[in-house]
Amino acid sequence: MFEKIALVGIGLIGSSIARGVKAKGLAKATAISTRKQETLAEAEALGLGDIYTLDAAEAVRGADLVILCTPIGAYEAVMDTIAPALEVGAILSDVGSVKGHVHRVLAPKVPRGVHFVPGHPMAGTEHSGPAAGFAELFENRWCMLTPEAGEDRGAVERVIAFWEALGSNVELMDATHHDLVVAITSHVPHLIAYNIVGTADDLESVTKSEVIKFSAGGFRDFTRIAASDPVMWRDVFLTNREAVLEMLGRFLEDLSMLQRAVRMGDGPALESLFTRTRAIRRSIIEAGQETEAPDFGRQHGSAPGE
Ligand code: NAP
């Protein structure tokens, strides 16, 4: 599909792409670049690519597809390094979880003749680094692409075909709309998880050991999300501020209503909401985005305390 793919950043997402490219034979060569020598050495030991370099410009030279896979906060500096080395006709893409900001900071720096097709695979785990990736991560998950309306159709089609080859479903979307959608489906849920785990950690009347011991009551499912990469998520909230604040405002209003229902002992209001939300979970399972198995498909009997 491509002569040379360059991946700048080789953590969970970059290494999953690298593995998928290899498994599906999507490029003649994969060049890998990252910031730290030890991360590069780890990627090489895992055999994720063909060319390994700490110099991002060297990685992208001669590449027909370049994908930025670093935290979003690193994009501008990375772009300043690679821009002079990008080939005319190459496609520049990324996997960042926020898209409006990425358009704003990268688009002005994209050299003439380079196609810019930003993307966001809606797939991930709470783990980070080259060893955390796996080729199947994107299978049956959605990948949103947010090219500008005037972008070269052929380049967009090639990126669509690339993600489809990795097993994803692809949707084209306006960057601003993308940011609103992910604010409610991903960013606010992460903020809530970070908050509830932080609140529990700060409690004095319930001890930390009790929180950990009795976590199966619901808390532990939040801790999975709240274990997500601190730097990546810092950058998400720094760059998708408006959409997150809008959705958070809605959330807080609804939470106040729920607080009132609890205070007033309003059973019908509580039951009516919980019935609606249960139906949403069913729809997610029916859409193939979650397993039918109880308890998130956890294997029982083997985990400590179960
Ligand atoms: P990760 O596992 O933490 O990997 C980040 C990679 O970027 C590492 O190779 C790291 O290299 C490199 N890096 C970090 N800071 C850098 C800098 N200043 N300059 C150059 N390289 C730098 O992160 P990830 O989960 O793969 O996330 C990467 C991107 O994917 C983010 O933009 C995120 O928004 C997006 N994304 C993540 C998920 C998810 O669930 N994790 C889902 C969809 C999209 P060193 O070790 O060498 O520093």
List pocket residues of ligand 1, CB cut-off 6 Å: 9-14, 34-36, 39, 69-72, 74, 78, 95-97, 120-121, 124, 128-129, 229, 232
Residue that has been written with the tokens 């998928």 in this structure: 20
Q: What is the best residue among 19, 42, 69 to mutate for testing ligand 1's pocket, by most ligand atoms within 8 Å of CB?
A: 69
* Helix (H/G/I), strand (E/B), else coil: 76: helix
Looking at residue 301, its pLDDT comes to 58
Same domain for 194 and 284, yes or no, is yes
Q: Are residues 114 and 240 in the same domain?
A: no
Same domain, residue pair 83 and 228: no
Query: What CATH number is associated with residue 245?
Result: 1.10.3660.10
Does the residue 304 lie in any domain? no
> How many helices (H) does the chain have, and how many strands (E)?
13, 9
Measured in Å, residue 8 CA sits from the centre of ligand 1 at: 9
In a domain, 305, yes or no: no
Asked, for residue 303, whether it belongs to a domain, the answer is: no
DSSP 127: -
Find the CATH number of the domain harbouring 147.
3.40.50.720
13 plus 66 within the same structural domain: yes
Q: Which amino acid is at 84?
A: P
Report the pLDDT value the prediction gives residue 299, as an integer from 0 to 100: 73
- Residue 300 domain-assigned (yes or no): no
Are 197 and 37 spatial neighbours (Cβ–Cβ below 8 Å)? no
pLDDT of residue 306: 35
For the chain (306 residues), the mean pLDDT of every run of 10, in chain order, is: 98 98 98 98 98 98 98 97 98 98 97 98 94 96 97 98 98 98 96 95 84 87 94 97 97 97 97 94 90 77 44
Report yes or no: 116 and 92 within 8 Å, Cβ to Cβ. yes
Residue in 8, 13, 120 to alter for ligand 1 test, most ligand atoms within 8 A of Cβ = 13
Which pLDDT value is given to residue 166?
Answer: 98
Burial of 110 (0-12, 13-18, 19+ CB in 10 A): middle
Global pTM? 0.93
Residues 19 and 137 in one domain: yes
Among 142, 173, 204, where does a domain finish? 173
pLDDT score recorded for residue 294: 78
The pLDDT value given to residue 225? 94
Q: Are residues 9 and 142 both part of a single domain? A: yes
Instruction: Please report the pLDDT score of residue 303 as a whole number.
Output: 45
Residues 27 and 97 in one domain: yes
The residues pairing with 92 across neighbouring beta strands, listed in sequence order, are 66, 116
Q: How many domains in the chain?
A: 2
Nearest to 49, CA basis, from 21, 69, 75, 72: 21
Residues 157 and 27 in one domain: yes
Q: Judge whether 298 lies within some domain.
A: no
The per-residue pLDDT for 243 is 97
- The pLDDT assigned to 261 comes to 97
Ligand 1 centroid to 13 CA: how many Å? 7
Domain membership flag for residue 250: yes
The pLDDT of residue 4 is: 98
Task: Kindly give the number of the ligand 1 atom that is closest to the alpha carbon of 236.
Answer: 34
Rounded (to 5) percent helix, strand, coil in the chain: 55, 10, 30
So what's the pLDDT on residue 305? 37
Range of the domain at 117: 2-173
Q: How many CB atoms lie within 10 A of CB 252?
A: 10
Ligand 1 centre distance from Cα of residue 161 (Å): 23
